[in-house]
Structure 1
Amino acid sequence: MYSREEIKQLKQLFWTKFGQFMALHASADGEKANWINYKTGIKHLYFRMDADKKLATIAIQWSQPDAGLRALMAEQFLQFKALLQDLLGEEWIWDMDGMDEYGKPICRIYTSLTGYSVFKEDDWAELISFFKPRIIALDEFWSSAKYTFDIFK
């Protein structure tokens, strides 16, 4: 069992390594990207990556407090579903009525990888292989779709 500090350090080391690996890749717009803390430029809209002892997840997540605006954002994403799937090369889960860990409503489009742990350094290559092509595809998607989301700024 890991202490809270060991958990923090291992996760931080993994994300640092991932960030160093991804630093070699420019964004779809040719700019330097902060892949781990990806900025969409839209309030309450995030590209999230997370990994723990059993599960790795990558998601487009929006937590707009206004239910009407959350629904409008969902409609915008639905209009781009074919493009998103084409760029990702796979079907993701669309959860339009989720809750975050604090009980606040969120919408997510996500996929997960099970059976690998961020706490096992031997699993890091597999986790990086999971995250890398998907965050690059999300960046490419966002390069094409972001302008239609400007109404939510």
Structure 2
Amino acid sequence: MYSKAETSKIRKDFWTAFGLYMKPVPNAEGRKTQWQNYKTGVKDIYFRMRAERNFASIGIEITHNDAELQQLYYEQLLEFKKILESETNEIWKWEMHVHDDHNRIISRVQKVAHGLNVMDQNDWPAIISFLKPRIIALDTFWNNMKPAFEEL
């Protein structure tokens, strides 16, 4: 078992390594970006990447406090489902009004890879290989679809 401090350091080391690995990769507009802290530029819409003890995941989270507005954003995203899945070449899990780890109601679209453990440095290449193409695909998708969300 790891102490809280050790766990925190390992997670920080992973995200630092991921950031360094992704640093030379430009975004869809050809600019440098902080991939591990990707900013969508739209309030209450986030790209979330997680690396945990038994899985890694990436997704789009809609966190608006107003359930109706959250649903409107989600439905707008749902309009672009085929484009997202074409960009990523895979089917993602779509969830409206679910509870997150902090018991907040959110809506999300995500892809999860089970059996990966951020605490095992041997899994880091597999986690990075899972996250990298998907965050790049999300960026390309978002570069084209963001205007539709800015108008809401």
Normalising to structure 2: TM-score of the pair? 0.97
Spell out structure 1 runs of 4+ moving beyond 4 A: none
Cα RMSD after superposing both structures: 0.8
Q: Could you tell me which residue of structure 1 aligns to residue 94 of structure 2?
A: 94
Contact 2:28–2:139 (CA under 8 A) maintained in structure 1: yes
Q: Could you tell me which residue of structure 2 aligns to residue 21 of structure 1?
A: 21
Q: Could you tell me which residue of structure 1 aligns to residue 4 of structure 2?
A: 4
Normalising to structure 1: TM-score of the pair? 0.97
Q: Could you tell me which residue of structure 2 aligns to residue 106 of structure 1?
A: 106
Is 1:126 the counterpart of 2:126? The answer is yes
Unaligned stretches of 5+ residues in structure 2 = none
Amino acid at match of 1:104: R
- For 1:76 and 1:52, how far apart are their aligned partners in 2? 30
- For 1:56 and 1:14, how far apart are their aligned partners in 2? 12
- For 2:31 and 2:145, how far apart are their aligned partners in 1? 17
Q: Could you tell me which residue of structure 2 aligns to residue 39 of structure 1?
A: 39
Unaligned stretches of 5+ residues in structure 1 = none
Question: What is the CA-CA distance between 1:58 and the residue it aligns to?
Answer: 0.6
Give the stretch that moved more between structures: 79-88 or 99-108: 99-108
Q: Could you tell me which residue of structure 2 aligns to residue 84 of structure 1?
A: 84
Question: What is the CA-CA distance between 1:23 and the residue it aligns to?
Answer: 0.5
Q: Could you tell me which residue of structure 2 aligns to residue 135 of structure 1?
A: 135
Amino acid at match of 2:145: A
Identical pairs, percent: 42
- For 1:113 and 1:78, how far apart are their aligned partners in 2? 22
Q: Secondary structure at the match of 2:37?
A: coil
Contact 2:24–2:32 (CA under 8 A) maintained in structure 1: no
Question: What is the CA-CA distance between 1:151 and the residue it aligns to?
Answer: 2.5
- For 1:65 and 1:150, how far apart are their aligned partners in 2? 17
State how many pairs are aligned: 152
